[in-house]
Structure 1
Amino acid sequence: MIADKLFKRGFSSPLLLCVSEQEDKGILEEVHEGACGNHIRARALAGKILRAGFYWPNLHEDAARYVRCCDKCQYHAPGEPLKFVLSPWPFFMWGVDIVGPFPIGAKQARWIIVVVDYFIKWVEAKPFASEKVIEFCRGKGIQNTFVSVEHPQANGQAESANKVILRALKRRRGALHHGIWFRRYDPSGNKSNKLVQRNVDN
């Protein structure tokens, strides 16, 4: 007990605030589909809530139930399992793809370049101007391997990241049509933790 609030000591995290049944539904909704929510799957949803500093006894079961009942998640769920491409060590193999065009957003960006490390699955997605990317690759001596358009098997990891990014944008009503996709979405998702804490505390 700290300041009349119950906390649980986490295994690898700081103290977790124990929340009531009335509060847990609001936290699930905010993290899953709130201002920075990406409609993530149940395991990631529960982990994100724990990293935000919240806990309740049936957190994992409640997260799974919430995701199962989310209409947008069910509508945009993938139709078949993805195939894995193995990489022997980090930075050995990268997947690079371009997503777009989108309505013009801030800084006149219409396209997103998605870069994925096949070993650690780290995703970087940045709006870009194509001339700068070509100059950068030439200047760094990067050899590009081009794959066929509409052939996701040739660049599977980047295509997988594209699906996640596009699914998150589709689930956010109006984000693509109003050009706000550029400034609202962060592929790492770290901003939502602060927003959840601020919303629940107020």
Structure 2
Amino acid sequence: MCDASDYAIGAVLGQRLDKHIYPNYYASKMLNDAQGNYTTTEKELLAAVYAFDKFRSYLLLSKTIVLPIIPRAFSLPKEIREASSYTVDSSAFRGMTTQQKKKFFRDVNQYVWDDLFLFKIGGDRILRRCVTREEGLDILKHYHEGLIGGHHGAHATDQKVFDCGFYWPTVVKGAMEFVRCVMRAKEQWVEAQALATNDAWVVVKFLKKLFTHFGTLRAIISDRGTHFFNTVMEKALARYGVTQRTSTTYHPQTNGQVENSNRGVKIILEKTVGVSHMDWSEKLDDALWAL
């Protein structure tokens, strides 16, 4: 954040954590005689340039978007509103009531056209660039599973979109549908590996491979087999902050979807392996792909 006055400019470097912004660095500078004669807009831009120069080492290799804060008293000039009304064909208002026309022009005042881009003035008085639904889908994918994504929920994902200065009318609904589709695909994803033994060390090594690809889990559900329920497994999961949940003696099949997946892999292998059944490990990847 940066701001300017008639005598000085200042900037604050903050970090967002748990939906709150915590300041990490403060910087300010007095204006000289020449800079004091700048217009208000030039002073604000000078503060932004000063902030980028001062915090350059922290902003390298990161995407940075400058979002101007619009005062609450801001509104489009009367000449622009009148000119914009003439750019719309009169046939567009044919059949509209007086209330619908008023609502139309009231909604128009929430947007600003700047050269090639259309911006929406949000409730926090920040300009956000309007994009199409197709572009919005790519943006959601980037902020959900990209390099800066964290596979967060729908609310955190659409909040990231707003914080980075993008807007389209269905951004909240689009985030919910996108995250729902991703979760449905993840829930049906099957990972399997052919192992020579099923001791605790082999299972822990396999789980570490999963954590590398998909991230750590909140909880893992398993039966009470000795290769899952042991001290080595308990220490490994505690190191990664994963809760282990085991089945009961009366109902060892804790997850019906896992049982169905195992049954499907078994059926595919029975139809594809040779007579000796010695090549089942080589056919495992093909069975997972077919599943």
Larger C-alpha radius of gyration, 1 or 2? Answer: 2
**TM-score of the aligned structures, taking structure 2 as reference length:** 0.26
Which protein has greater RCO, CA pairs closer than 8 Å, 6+ apart?
1
